[in-house]
Amino acid sequence: MLAASEVILTTNPCQTCGACCANFRVSFYWGEADDAPGGIVPAQLTEKISPQLRCMKGTASKPVRCVALEGEVGKRVSCSIYPQRPSPCREFDVLEADGSPNPRCAALRAQLLPS
């Protein structure tokens, strides 16, 4: 049996989940948007939270669903701006740096995708 750090994912489990995109407010520094020098996140898909922060549209209030999320949560999903996604999305992963499962990801999956 392989240790958690030795598991090789052959498919991305995020593409059959999307729970994080339907649960968290995705807020980030305004300079990540493409209307700022060097920004890459499409500004038209964001909204202002404060002078320093923006969030992805659809994530500021309940029910949460990021505007960039395509598909059906728990079935088949994708991010329409994956290469331009903001830092919170880049930093949230199904696995921790040591290869162990991300406990926040597992909790969301259990909450939104009961078996």
- Taking only the tens place, the pLDDT of each residue in 3-61 is 444 445 556 788 889 999 999 999 999 999 999 999 999 999 999 999 999 999 999 99
Residue where the block lists tokens 């994080």: 20
What is the pLDDT, as a whole number, of residue 4? 45
Residues 6 or more apart whose CB falls under 8 angstroms from that of 16 comprise 74, 75, 76, 77
CA gap 115, 110 in Å, rounded: 8
The domain locations on the chain are: 13-112
**Residue, of 84 and 95, whose pLDDT is higher:** 84
pTM: 0.83
What is the pLDDT, as a whole number, of residue 101? 86
- Taking only the tens place, the pLDDT of each residue in 59-88 is 999 999 999 999 999 899 999 999 999 999
Report whether pLDDT(104) > 60: yes
What is the pLDDT confidence band of residue 1, given thresholds at 50, 70 and 90? very low
Q: Which amino acid is at 98?
A: D
What is the pLDDT, as a whole number, of residue 54? 98
